[in-house]
Structure 1
Amino acid sequence: MRKRNLLFFLAVMLSVFPSLARDFQDEYKGQTLTYTVLDEDAKTVKTKDGEHHWAGCKVSGNLIIPNVVSDGADTYTVIKIGSYSFTANEDLTSVVIEGPGIETIEDNAFSRCSNLTSITLPEGLTQLGSGVFQGCTSLESVTLPDSLTELGEYAFFGCTSLKSVTIPEGLTQLGSSVFQGCTSLESITLPEGLTSLRYTFMGCTSLKSVTLPDSLTTLFGTFSGCTSLESITIPEGLTQLGSSVFQGCTSLKSLTLPESLTAIGKNAFQGCTALESIIIPDRVEGIEGYAFQGCTSLKSVKMPSYEVVRFFVGDFAFEGCTSLTSIDFSNVRESFIGISAFEGCTSLGSVKFSEGLNDYLFDDYVEIRGRAFYNCNRIKTLTLPNVDLGESAFEGCTSLNTVKMRAIFSIESRVFAGCPNLNYIYYDSGVREPISGNKDIFDEVTYEDATLFVKEEDVEKCKLIMPWKKFKTIAAYKFSNGVDEIEASLDPDAPYEIFTLDGVKIADSTDNLPAGIYIIRQGNAVKKIAVN
């Protein structure tokens, strides 16, 4: 009974899947291939998956794959080249795929055919699968048909002899790492319609010329290790430079970032030793870690040109940029500087941060994390707004002479250690009490020789609090709260806001405003004024 049921089940399965495991062979121009039937009714087949690569295979030399084959009784149209059909076949030297008919070449169909020098692809082909020519180290040139719309990931990965590729205008999908490791590829033009490139040309050490489409919005690792790339035009509309996009491009000298850009990813320009300057577009909200690490020729970095609320610089972002001379965050209300962000920038002489009015008006603030400016031995003067200071933030700044600080929210050890020329410290605690901290925040020579200037009411307080009490000289100082003391008549036609000296907004105009001293903000300008 059980045997009868099994036979019945097999009969049903064969009726439902009549083409299941049905293969046949066909000889064409001296080469015999095995085909798998896809649809008996439609009479379609593909070359059998993984069939033609083992030792003793008769497929060798110049292979022509027809678009019509026969099993001896019927003819079938070849619509696919099966996955791994010819993988690792070292005897193949050239392949011609006849068309029309073949629509897809599946994953790894010709991967590691190390002696394959040429491939002719038919019109009508729409898809090349993942790794389809991966490791074809003798392949020198490829012309992709106009009908192609999708090129799978790793399609030409490691094709070290590939010098030229013609990509059709209709291509809309380009997988990651398509040309990664194509060390002989010198130039390429990409069609409109592509929006993202991921590791596409990574390790293409001969690549010198690339034309990118205006449709691009994101790049990730795209040109990492392209050591011959000297310049490139990035289209307007690009919003994200992802991680490692130009990492190790040691010949890249200049680059204009589009105004549409909002993000610069981790390691984006790491090790670009020839890069001399960069302008950060106004919409960029921050620079991720290691983005410009080791850019030893980088002299100038221009930060956003208009007032922004927040901006961050990630860990090690500019570490080792030994030619960088200045950095300006004065248009940023809140800055966040990561661990070792500028460590070892030995030419850095000027660092500017936004200077606010007081602790609760406009709230200018910077967080400077550990070793952020470690061994920046050209900095002489430093002015900080409200601040959090991480361990060893300015340690080793041997030229530092003057530090001006407003409210300190937190301060860790050795912030100003190794600064033997630090002679003047101005500490305006604002409405806060002076903060306490470790005795090793400053060196003993600083406590002995430098003068600490604080508000008159803080002099006695600082004599009781570590580390301030270690200063031999503490002097009272009248701080101006970061504004200019001038007399001025206002332009009644210009918009402005008026505050009391305590930071309370009281008006948007001078109508019925009594004579006196006020704080006015007009555009980006902040002044202390006398109204007559």
Structure 2
Amino acid sequence: MKKIISLCLIIGALCASAAVLSSCGKEQVPGTVSTTTSASTSSTTETTETTESTTNTLPITMTFENTDIVDSLEYKFYARLLKDENGSITGVAVQEWKNAEATLDIPAEYVYSGKKYPVTMVGFYATLVKNDASGVKEVIIPSSARIVSQKVFTNFPNLEKVTIAEGLETIEAHAFWKCSKLSDITLPSTLKSIGAYSFANCSSLVSITIPAGVTEIEPCAFSGCTGLKSVTIPAAFKDQVDSIFKNCGDITFNFS
């Protein structure tokens, strides 16, 4: 009889544990957020609203540390406020273009709460056009920009021309990856760093000049650029051209 009672107690404990586990929900992977968000706007003022979906949603202003997503009818894109460790706004990143256009002309300034802030970052670690980017043919990057973010123009199939003003310092990994029709781009003299695969598979590029001020070019930055015929590049990278321009075919290098 005692054995039967003990067995019943064990079974009951196991059932209770299973019930607790089943109520915990889906575990979130560190560094990711499972959320549905939207930015709302008023015709008279710029606003930042936090909108919760019906399931497992975090406020849009809390998605990333020290940043807020804002929207205004005055601009064609959602913006992300960039803040320092004290919470002060230092600049703005172009988060996402609302509707794809033939020319994405990025402004140098963004007005928020009556103050002007420089647009210092193009993109924020994701594509600039979330839906169909096939209509984009030209991108204009202002002198205020310091960083072109990772993956921001990845696989823009009809992007042909990129104009970059002096001032840009960093082009991050995969920034223009698979822009197969990109043929017209001039890198500014202020550029210092070019990330891995940043121009990989840009097969319409025929020539490119790497400015003398560039001190870092990561492997495969121009891999698969099968149309490249002429490259001007600082002599410091002479021993790295095989990895930088992997699978590109015959290229004439001019070392500066």
- Same topology, TM > 0.5: yes
TM-score by length of 2: 0.66
Q: Write the distance in 2 (CA, Å) between the matches of 1:74 and 1:59.
A: 27
Q: Is the 8 A contact 2:178 2:201 kept in 1?
A: yes
How has the CA–CA distance of structure 1 residues 199 and 192 changed in structure 2, closer, same or farther, with 3 Å as cutoff?
closer
How has the CA–CA distance of structure 1 residues 72 and 92 changed in structure 2, closer, same or farther, with 3 Å as cutoff?
farther
Q: Which residue of 1 aligns with 2:106?
A: 65
Q: Which residue of 2 aligns with 1:45?
A: 92
Structure 2 residue runs without a partner (length 5+) = 1-64
Amino acid at match of 1:191: P
- More contact order relative to length (CA 8 Å, sep ≥ 6): 2
Alignment of 1:105-254 (within 5 A): 105-194=148-237, 196-197=239-240, 199-205=243-249, 207-212=250-255
Q: Which residue of 1 aligns with 2:140?
A: 96
Q: Write the distance in 2 (CA, Å) between the matches of 1:196 and 1:106.
A: 27
Q: Which residue of 1 aligns with 2:18?
A: none
Paired residue secondary structure (2:105)? strand
Q: Is the 8 A contact 1:120 1:143 kept in 2?
A: yes
Q: Is the 8 A contact 2:127 2:154 kept in 1?
A: no
Q: Which residue of 2 aligns with 1:24?
A: 70
Q: Is the 8 A contact 2:67 2:82 kept in 1?
A: no
Q: Deviations over 1:421-469 (max 9, x none)?
A: xxxxxxxxxxxxxxxxxxxxxxxxxxxxxxxxxxxxxxxxxxxxxxxxx
Alignment of 1:240-389 (within 5 A): none
* Runs of 4 or more above 4 Å deviation: none
Q: Is the 8 A contact 2:81 2:89 kept in 1?
A: no
1:75 deviation in Å? Answer: 1.8
1:21 deviation in Å? Answer: 4.5
Q: Is the 8 A contact 1:92 1:116 kept in 2?
A: yes
Q: Is the 8 A contact 1:171 1:193 kept in 2?
A: no
Q: Deviations over 1:328-368 (max 9, x none)?
A: xxxxxxxxxxxxxxxxxxxxxxxxxxxxxxxxxxxxxxxxx
Q: Write the distance in 1 (CA, Å) between the matches of 2:164 and 2:73.
A: 20
Paired residue secondary structure (1:91)? coil
1:83 deviation in Å? Answer: 1.9
Q: Deviations over 1:48-101 (max 9, x none)?
A: 2xx34xxxx5131111101101135322111111222426722211011121x2
How has the CA–CA distance of structure 1 residues 106 and 196 changed in structure 2, closer, same or farther, with 3 Å as cutoff?
farther
How has the CA–CA distance of structure 1 residues 21 and 98 changed in structure 2, closer, same or farther, with 3 Å as cutoff?
closer
- Percent identity, aligned pairs only, is 25
How has the CA–CA distance of structure 1 residues 165 and 76 changed in structure 2, closer, same or farther, with 3 Å as cutoff?
same
Amino acid at match of 1:92: V
Q: Is the 8 A contact 2:102 2:138 kept in 1?
A: yes
Amino acid at match of 1:45: V
1:193 deviation in Å? Answer: 3.1
Q: Is the 8 A contact 1:33 1:59 kept in 2?
A: no
Q: Deviations over 1:395-416 (max 9, x none)?
A: xxxxxxxxxxxxxxxxxxxxxx
Structure 1 residue runs without a partner (length 5+) = 1-18, 214-532
Q: Which has the larger radius of gyration?
A: 1
Paired residue secondary structure (1:199)? helix
Amino acid at match of 2:125: S
Q: Write the distance in 2 (CA, Å) between the matches of 1:126 and 1:68.
A: 18
Q: Write the distance in 2 (CA, Å) between the matches of 1:109 and 1:182.
A: 19
Question: Which residue, 115, 118, 125 being the options, matches 1:77?
Answer: 118
Indicate whether 1:36 and 2:84 are aligned: no
TM-score by length of 1: 0.33
Alignment of 1:359-438 (within 5 A): none
Q: Deviations over 1:113-167 (max 9, x none)?
A: 1111100112111110001100001100221000001111101100111112121
Q: Write the distance in 2 (CA, Å) between the matches of 1:164 and 1:201.
A: 12
1:43 deviation in Å? Answer: 4.0
1:20 deviation in Å? Answer: 4.0
Paired residue secondary structure (1:22)? strand
Paired residue secondary structure (2:76)? strand
Number of residue pairs aligned between Structure 1 and Structure 2: 187
Paired residue secondary structure (2:235)? coil
Q: Write the distance in 1 (CA, Å) between the matches of 2:201 and 2:219.
A: 13
1:24 deviation in Å? Answer: 1.3
How has the CA–CA distance of structure 1 residues 68 and 193 changed in structure 2, closer, same or farther, with 3 Å as cutoff?
same
Q: Is the 8 A contact 1:32 1:59 kept in 2?
A: no
Q: Is the 8 A contact 1:135 1:157 kept in 2?
A: yes
